[in-house]
C-alpha cells in the first residue's frame, strides 16, 4: 500500500464509542465529479486518537494523514462504528417529522380544493350557452343567468389562481421539510482513529476520500440576455448542483470544485508516497515537506484543475444544493439569419467575447431572453468568440414567393430550359436596428449535363462551391426589404432535374 507519510495498515469495525462525537472538525472539502475529499483537523493529544469520520465505510487506502510538529512515530490506523446524531436531537427530529406530516396533509387538501374548482370551471364552460324558446325562457331570466355565470366564472378563476399558488407553496414547504428531516436522522458513522505514542501532541490533518453516498457536483451555465436595454447585455451565470454527505452539522467551510474526475494520489503533487511496513515506523519530519500547510490550506486547493472556490458553505449530512459559482456580464453582438426556402423563420445568433471565467459546461447552456426561457442552446467556437444559435426571432419576419408571371419553360433541340424568379421580403418589426443574413440555396445536380446559371442576384453573392446566394441586409426598426433573384436550369430531355421551387 502506498500512501502519503502513513499507510493505514490495519482497521477494524467494532463496538460503539462512548466519547464526544464532534472532536474532529472539517477544514475544507474538495469536490470532484465523482468523489469528494474531506480534510479533517484533529490533535494527536485527543483522547481516543480520533482523526476523522465518515458515513461511508472507506478502504484503508482512502485515508491520508499529515502529522504536524515533532510527531514522528505512531501505530496503526483503525476504524470503529458509532451512532451519530445531529445537534437537532430527538425532540427536534420528532417536531420536524410532525411538521412534515402536517405539511403533506395540507398539500393534499389544497390539491383537492384546486381539483374541485377546476371541475366547477369545466361545468360552467359546458353550460354557458342557455337554450330555449321565447315562450319557455324570458329574456330577463337569460340576462340574470348570464350575469350570474359571469360573476361565478370570475370568482372561480380568481380562486383557481389563488389555489395554484398555495399548492406550489405547500409543495416547496414539503420538499424543504423532507430535506431537513433527512439531514436530522440519526445514522451510524465510521470513526478513524490513530494509535499515537504516549504523550504525543500536535496538529494532525486527515483527508478522507468519499467515494460512496453520491458525492458529486454537476455544472450548469445559465445565460440571461436582455435586449430591452439601450445596448444588449448578457449575464453569464455559472451554477453547480452539488451533493455531499459529511457527518457535521451546518459547518461553514470552503468548498473547492474541480472540473475533473478524482484520480487519487496521481492528482496530488504535494503527496510523498512511502511504503510502510508494520505498526511502528519512524519517518521524516513533515514540517520540511510542507505537507501540513498544503493539506490544511483553505485559501486555494493544492490539487490541479480547481476552477471555483466557495467560502462559508454550511455543509452537513445529505447536503444537496444548487449553488452559484459567480456571474459575468458580457456585451453580445446580435445577428439574424434566415433560409426562407427551408423555413419562413428568422433566427437569432449571438456572438460573445470569450468569458474571463471558465465555462462550467463547455457545450451547452440554458438561455433566457428578456426573462423568458428559450431552452438549452449549443455553444460553438469561432476565433476568440463563442457563437450561440438562440432560435427564432419573433420580431423579424420573412416571406418567400415565386414570381409565377416571370417563370417559364422553353426547349431548343434536345435541351429544355427552365427560368425561375423569386421574391424574398424580410421585415424588422422590432424597436432596434439589426442586420440579417439571407441565404438561398440554388438547385444542385451531380450531372454535368444539368446546368444552373444565376441570372439576377439583386446584390447577393454566390458561393460557387456550395451554390448558396447570400445577402447581408441592414434594417431600421419597422423597415422592410425585398430581394429579387432569378436563375436558369437547362438539361437534356431525358435528364432528371432537381427541385426548382
Q: Can you read off the three cell numbers belonging to residue 148?
A: 350570474
> Cα–Cα distance between 59 and 9 in angstroms, integer?
11
The pLDDT of 246-257, averaged and rounded, is 90
Q: What is the pTM of this model?
A: 0.63
> Is pLDDT at 333 greater than 50 in this prediction?
yes
**What confidence tens digit (pLDDT) does each residue in 82-100 have?**
888 766 666 777 888 889 9
CATH class of 396-492: mainly beta
Answer yes or no: are the C-beta atoms of 53 and 77 closer than 8 Å.
Answer: no
Average pLDDT (102-125) is 89
Q: Which three cell numbers stand for residue 237?
A: 451565470
Q: What's the grid cell of residue 190?
A: 465510521
The CA-based diameter of the chain, rounded to the nearest angstrom, is: 111
Residues 398/404/406/409 CA torsion (nearest 10 deg):
130
Can you spell out the DSSP letters for 212-250?
A: SS--EEEEEEEEEEE-SSSS-EEEEEEEEEEEE--S-SS
Rounded CA-CA distance 386/463 in Å is 25
Measured between alpha carbons, how far is 480 from 334 in angstroms, rounded to an integer?
18
Whole-number Cα distances in Å, 351 to 223, 236, 501: 13, 13, 33
What is the residue extent of each domain of the chain?
2-85+187-216+245-314, 89-184, 396-492
Nine cell digits for residue 46: 485527543
Cβ contact 3:273 at 8 Å: yes
DSSP state of 193: E
29-72 pLDDT tens trace: 999 988 999 999 888 777 678 888 898 866 656 777 776 655 55
Which candidate, 500, 298, 272, places its Cα nearest to that of 407?
A: 500
Q: What is the pLDDT of residues 381-433, one digit of tens each?
A: 887 788 888 989 989 999 999 998 988 888 887 888 888 899 999 999 998 89
C-alpha to C-alpha distance for 463 and 318, rounded to whole angstroms: 59
Amino acid at each position: 500500500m502506498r500512501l502519503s507519510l502513513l499507510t493505514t495498515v490495519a482497521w477494524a469495525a467494532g463496538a460503539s464509542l462512548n466519547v464526544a462525537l464532534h472532536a474532529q472538525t472539517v477544514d475544507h472539502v474538495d469536490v470532484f465529479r465523482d468523489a469528494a475529499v474531506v480534510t479533517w483537523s484533529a490533535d494527536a493529544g485527543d483522547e481516543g486518537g480520533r482523526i476523522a469520520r465518515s458515513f461511508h465505510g472507506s478502504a484503508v487506502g482512502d485515508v491520508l494523514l499529515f502529522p504536524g510538529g515533532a510527531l514522528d512515530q505512531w501505530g496503526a490506523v483503525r476504524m470503529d462504528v458509532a451512532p451519530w446524531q445531529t445537534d437537532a436531537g430527538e425532540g427536534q427530529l420528532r417536531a420536524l417529522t410532525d411538521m412534515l406530516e402536517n405539511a403533506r396533509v395540507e398539500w393534499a387538501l389544497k390539491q383537492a380544493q384546486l381539483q374541485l374548482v377546476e371541475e366547477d370551471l369545466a361545468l360552467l364552460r359546458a353550460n354557458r350557452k342557455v337554450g330555449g324558446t321565447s315562450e319557455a325562457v324570458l329574456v330577463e331570466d337569460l340576462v340574470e343567468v348570464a350575469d350570474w355565470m359571469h360573476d361565478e366564472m370570475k370568482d372561480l378563476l380568481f380562486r383557481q389562481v389563488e389555489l395554484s399558488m398555495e399548492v406550489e407553496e405547500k409543495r416547496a414547504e414539503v420538499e424543504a421539510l423532507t430535506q431537513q428531516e433527512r439531514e436530522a436522522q440519526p445514522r451510524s458513522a465510521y470513526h478513524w482513529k490513530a494509535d499515537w505514542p504516549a504523550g504525543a501532541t500536535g496538529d494532525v490533518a486527515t483527508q478522507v476520500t468519499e467515494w460512496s453516498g453520491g458525492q458529486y457536483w454537476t455544472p450548469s451555465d445559465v445565460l440571461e440576455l436582455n435586449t430591452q436595454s439601450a445596448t444588449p447585455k448578457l449575464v453569464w451565470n455559472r451554477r453547480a448542483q452539488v451533493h455531499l454527505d459529511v457527518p457535521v452539522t451546518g459547518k461553514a467551510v470552503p468548498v473547492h470544485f474541480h472540473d475533473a474526475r478524482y484520480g487519487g494520489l496521481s492528482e496530488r503533487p504535494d503527496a510523498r508516497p512511502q511504503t510502510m511496513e508494520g505498526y511502528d515506523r519512524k519517518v521524516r519530519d513533515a514540517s520540511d515537506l510542507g505537507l501540513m500547510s498544503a493539506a490544511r490550506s483553505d485559501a486555494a486547493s493544492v490539487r490541479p484543475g480547481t476552477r471555483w472556490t466557495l467560502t462559508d458553505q454550511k455543509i452537513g449530512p445529505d447536503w444537496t444544493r444548487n449553488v452559484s459559482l459567480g456571474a459575468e456580464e458580457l456585451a453580445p453582438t446580435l445577428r439574424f439569419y434566415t433560409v426562407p426556402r427551408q423555413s419562413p423563420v428568422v433566427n437569432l445568433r449571438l456572438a460573445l467575447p470569450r468569458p474571463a471565467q471558465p465555462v462550467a459546461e463547455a457545450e451547452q447552456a440554458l438561455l433566457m431572453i428578456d426573462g423568458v426561457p428559450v431552452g438549452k442552446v449549443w455553444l460553438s467556437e469561432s476565433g476568440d468568440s463563442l457563437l450561440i444559435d438562440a432560435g427564432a426571432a419573433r420580431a423579424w419576419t420573412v416571406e418567400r414567393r415565386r414570381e409565377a408571371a416571370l417563370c417559364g419553360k422553353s426547349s431548343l433541340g434536345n435541351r429544355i430550359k427552365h427560368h425561375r424568379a423569386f421574391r424574398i421580403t424580410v421585415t424588422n418589426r422590432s424597436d432596434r436596428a439589426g442586420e440579417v443574413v439571407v441565404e438561398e440555396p440554388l438547385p444542385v445536380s451531380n450531372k454535368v449535363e444539368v446546368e444552373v446559371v444565376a441570372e439576377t442576384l439583386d446584390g447577393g453573392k454566390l458561393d460557387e462551391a456550395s451554390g448558396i446566394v447570400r445577402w447581408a441586409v441592414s434594417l431600421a426598426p419597422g423597415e422592410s426589404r425585398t430581394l429579387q433573384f432569378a436563375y436558369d436550369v437547362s438539361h437534356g430531355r431525358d435528364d432528371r432535374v432537381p427541385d426548382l421551387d
